[in-house]
Amino acid sequence: MNSNLEEQKKGKYVLIRDDAEDSELGQFYKPLPCFGFGIGWFSFLLGFVFPFAWYVATFLYLISYYHRDPRERSGLAASAIAALIFSVALVITVLVLVFSGR
């Protein structure tokens, strides 16, 4: 330890041991899938083009997929909310079209 202090005083860099693999948080140092967004946020963005992606993410949210990686939880929840809003809007649109006489 004294040699490290002496090297630090001289302006040299001191090697710090990396315990990332030994700790519980080590698994969260790897990047998220789907271009680093995570499955949830990627599904949320993809859902604006293909709304079925919101329902897939909602299913993953309901089966607690986020227990594998807690960073996925917010994206999956956002997709579930988007699926709910889309479903309500779709039902209202269909009801208006059916009862408007078209």
Give the Cα separation of 17 and 68 in Å (integer).
27
pLDDT of residue 30: 76
Q: Average pLDDT of each block of 10 consecutive residues along the chain (102 residues)?
A: 63 59 60 80 93 93 85 91 96 93 66
| Model pTM score | 0.69
pLDDT of residue 23: 54
With a CB cutoff of 8 Å and minimum separation 6, the contacts of 69 are 27, 28, 32, 38
pLDDT of residue 13: 63
